Structure 1
C-alpha cells in the first residue's frame, strides 16, 4: 500500500494515557459497554442521576467509529431530509431534524474547543444528483430549515449553515476525563465475552449491574445476536494528508450522495473518506484494516478530483453499523439490557441524542425521546422479546 500511517486516525495526537483493563469482580447501578460518543453521553446522563457507573471498551476511549470518523456534525438522519420524509413520514423527519439541531450546541458545550460551526456542503456529482439537491432544497425551505443554494468552483449543490466540523476523538477524551472526574469507573482493553442477565464478563473481570447498556455501533450484532437481522457492520475507510495550502476547504463536504466526504482540519490537513461501494461485499466486515482497493480509489480522488499532491500521512478505517431502516437501534433487548447503535455512518449527533433518550426511558420511565426518534409503532421494542412493528 502507498505511504501513510496505518490504522491511526488523523485525530490521534498521541497524548492520551490508555485506560486500564477491568480486573476482578465489581458491582454497579449501570454498566455501559462502549466508550464512544453515545456511550460517554449515556454515562454523563447516568451520573446526573447519581448512578454508580462502570464503563468498558474493547479498545479505549473513542477506539471505534466515534473517534475514527470524518468529523462531521450534521443534523438529521442517515437520509437526506426529503428522503427521510419519504421513509419515515413528515412529522417524524421534522421532529428528528429539530432534535438534532438542538443537540449540536450541547455537543459543543460538553467538549469545549472541539466544534467549529462552519456549515456543510452537499455537492452534486451528476445532473441527476443536482436535481435531487433541488428537491432537498425545496423540502427544507418549506419546513423553515436553513438551507442555501450553492454554486462555486468545486461544483453545485447545497450549503447547510447550521452544520459543523469537529475533532471526534478529542471530544470523546474530554467526555471520558470529565466522567472519571465525576465518579465513573472506566476500563479499556476489556472486550466483553458474555452478557448473562445483567452480569458482564470480560477476560479478567466481571461487572454485576442493575442495568446494562450496549452502546457500540459497529459489531453491535455480535454482542447481541438477536438484532442481527436488522443491523450490519460495514468498514468505512479514510485517509489524511500532511498540512497543505493547495486548496482551502471551508466546511465539510458531502459528494456523490455522501459516498465521498472530506474536510480540512484547522492545521490544514485534508481528511477524505468514501468509496465503500467500490469495495463490494468485502466492505461488509468488522475488519478495520484499510484495503488496497478502497485506499487506491481515495488516493486517486485526492490527486485527480481535489488536486491535492501533499503526502498522505494517515490511512485508517472504522466499523459502523447500518440498519435496514436508516434509523438507529434503540431497544431493550433483554430484561434490563438496552442496545443503541446502528447509526448508518452518521452517529455523531443522533448517537448522543439516542443516548439521552435511552437513559430517560430506562431510568426515568420517560419514553418520549425514543418515540420522537422511532415513532409509536416502535414502542413494543422497549419491552424485551417483542420485535418492532413493520
Structure 2
C-alpha cells in the first residue's frame, strides 16, 4: 500500500532519527523482520537480555498499521470470548485473557517508567450498544468478569450523561483500557530498543530467507545477514517475502479522520476515554489534544474496506457519521484523513509461535494490536532465550488460509449486510423507548380523568 503520511499522527510526532540502510554484511543472534510494534518489542526484549539483534524494515519505523491505528490499548482479542472458550476451554481462555492484560500493562508500564514523550495516555474504554438489551450486556459483563476482566456495566442513563446521544443505550466500561498516540509510542519503543543495543535498519527489505540450518541467511538489497533466530513481524506487508504467510491474513482497511479544533467538544462529549459503538469497524472515536486546551479535536474512524481506497473519498462520510451522532458539535471540518490496514486471521486470534526451529512468527493482531503486539514481543523473547513455552497457548490457532479475493469479498459483504440489520434493530430500540416515554408521561393524565 502506498504510504500516506498526511495524517495527524505525523503532524504531532516527536522527533526521531532517520536510520540508515543495511549496506554491510552482519552476524547477529536475532534478526527481526518488520519495525512495527511487535518487531520493536521483540528487539527491545531480546537486546535487554544481552543478545545481539538487528531489525530490518522495508520502509520506516511504524510506517504501516503500528503508526496509524486508532490508538486504543484494550484487553482481550478480536475473537469473542464465547468462541475462545468453545475452542480451548475455560482455563486456557482465562490464561489467554491474562496474557492480553499483561500486554496492556506492558504498554502502560513502558510509557510511565520511561517518561515517554508525546504518548499522552488517557484511561478508559466504553463499548456502547445502540440496541436496548441490558440483560445481554449484564450477562456479558458477568462472563468477562468470570475470566478475569476488569469491566463494569453502565446503564443508559449513565452513558447518556457522558455521551449525550439518543442512539446510545447501555455500555461496557473497561477501566484498565486507555488510549495513546500510537506513532509516538512506536518511536519511543524504537529508541528504547536501540538504547538496549538493538540495531534498526530502515529502507531495508528482506528479499529472501534461508531458514535451514543453525545459522539462518537473510538477503537484503545491499547486504547479507546471518542469525541464529529470525522473527517474522511484518504482518500484511510480509507478502513479497512469505506469500503463504500473507495469505493467512485478511487485509482490512479503515479510515481515520481528525477534525479541526472544536470549541464545545468537551462540553458535548464528556467522556475522555476511548469509545466504540459498533461491532465491526464503525465507529471508534476519542478526543485528542490536551485537556482544557483550545486545540481539542475529535478523532473518528470507521468505514471498513477489504481493498485499498483513497482516504479523501471517505471524508464526507466520516463527517456525516459525526454529525449524525453529535449534531450539537455544529460545523465539522476535517484537518486530516488517512487509512490504516490491519491483518486479521480467520479465527480472529494472533499468530504467535515458532514455525520451525529458529523461525518465529508474530502477526495477525487485527484490531487489538497495541496490547497483543506487546504480549507477543515478550512471549517470543522469553521463548527464544529462556525456553519459556507460554506461547504454546496459541498453538490451537493454526495458520489458516484466509480465502484470497473470495475471502475478502465475503467479509465485505458480511460487513455491508450487517449494517442494515443493525440499523433496523437500533431503530426499533429507539422507537420502543419513545413508546415507553409516551406511556409514562400520559399515565398521570389518564388516571386523573378516570
Q: TM-score range by the shorter chain?
A: 0.7 to 0.9
Q: Who is 1:275 aligned against? A: 303
Q: Who is 1:280 aligned against? A: none
Decide which of 227, 238, 252 is 2:274's aligned counterpart. 252
- Take 2:318 and 2:84, find their aligned partners in 1: how far apart are those partners? 28
User: Could you tell me how far 1:172 is from its partner in structure 2?
Assistant: 1.1
Q: Who is 1:138 aligned against? A: 142
Q: Who is 1:224 aligned against? A: 242
User: Could you tell me how far 1:38 is from its partner in structure 2?
Assistant: 1.1
Secondary structure (helix, strand or coil) at the match of 1:219 reads helix
Q: Cα gap change, 1:291/1:230 in structure 2, threshold over 3 Å: closer, same or farther?
A: farther
- Take 1:360 and 1:22, find their aligned partners in 2: how far apart are those partners? 27
Q: Who is 2:406 aligned against? A: none
- Take 1:97 and 1:213, find their aligned partners in 2: how far apart are those partners? 24
Q: 1:361 and 2:383 equivalent?
A: yes
Secondary structure (helix, strand or coil) at the match of 1:46 reads helix
Deviations 1:315-351 (A, max 9, x none): 1112211111111111333442211110112111011
- Take 2:260 and 2:360, find their aligned partners in 1: how far apart are those partners? 41
C-alpha contact 1:67 1:168 (8 A) present in aligned 2: yes
- Take 1:136 and 1:175, find their aligned partners in 2: how far apart are those partners? 34
5+ long unaligned stretches in structure 1: 1-5, 277-282, 382-390
Greater fraction of residues in strand: 1
Q: Cα gap change, 1:229/1:89 in structure 2, threshold over 3 Å: closer, same or farther?
A: farther
C-alpha contact 2:315 2:334 (8 A) present in aligned 1: no
Decide which of 314, 318, 322 is 1:302's aligned counterpart. 322
- Take 1:380 and 1:273, find their aligned partners in 2: how far apart are those partners? 29
- Take 1:144 and 1:214, find their aligned partners in 2: how far apart are those partners? 31
Q: Give the RMSD, CA atoms, in angstroms.
A: 2.6
C-alpha contact 2:56 2:200 (8 A) present in aligned 1: yes
Q: 1:266 and 2:289 equivalent?
A: yes
* Structure whose alpha-carbon radius of gyration is higher: 2
Q: 1:325 and 2:347 equivalent?
A: yes
Decide which of 225, 241, 247 is 1:207's aligned counterpart. 225
C-alpha contact 1:115 1:164 (8 A) present in aligned 2: no
Secondary structure (helix, strand or coil) at the match of 1:273 reads strand
User: Could you tell me how far 1:86 is from its partner in structure 2?
Assistant: 4.2
C-alpha contact 2:351 2:398 (8 A) present in aligned 1: no
Q: Cα gap change, 1:329/1:56 in structure 2, threshold over 3 Å: closer, same or farther?
A: same
User: Could you tell me how far 1:87 is from its partner in structure 2?
Assistant: 4.9
Q: Who is 2:335 aligned against? A: 313
C-alpha contact 2:178 2:273 (8 A) present in aligned 1: yes
Greater fraction of residues in helix: 2
Q: Cα gap change, 1:138/1:82 in structure 2, threshold over 3 Å: closer, same or farther?
A: farther
Decide which of 306, 311, 333 is 1:290's aligned counterpart. 311
Q: Cα gap change, 1:79/1:136 in structure 2, threshold over 3 Å: closer, same or farther?
A: farther
- Take 2:65 and 2:76, find their aligned partners in 1: how far apart are those partners? 18
Deviations 1:278-324 (A, max 9, x none): xxxxx334x474262x4443221122223343321111112211111
How does the TM-score come out when normalised to structure 2? 0.74
- Take 1:30 and 1:329, find their aligned partners in 2: how far apart are those partners? 19
C-alpha contact 1:45 1:356 (8 A) present in aligned 2: yes
Secondary structure (helix, strand or coil) at the match of 1:11 reads helix
Q: Who is 1:341 aligned against? A: 363
C-alpha contact 2:62 2:186 (8 A) present in aligned 1: yes
Q: Who is 1:49 aligned against? A: 49
- Take 1:331 and 1:288, find their aligned partners in 2: how far apart are those partners? 33
C-alpha contact 1:219 1:233 (8 A) present in aligned 2: no
Deviations 1:338-367 (A, max 9, x none): 111101121110111112111222233221
- Take 1:83 and 1:245, find their aligned partners in 2: how far apart are those partners? 44
Q: Who is 2:106 aligned against? A: 106
User: Could you tell me how far 1:117 is from its partner in structure 2?
Assistant: 5.0
Alignment of 1:75-90 (within 5 A): 75-90=75-90
User: Could you tell me how far 1:180 is from its partner in structure 2?
Assistant: 1.6
C-alpha contact 1:65 1:218 (8 A) present in aligned 2: no
User: Could you tell me how far 1:188 is from its partner in structure 2?
Assistant: 1.1
- Shifted more, 318-327 versus 132-141: the winner is 132-141
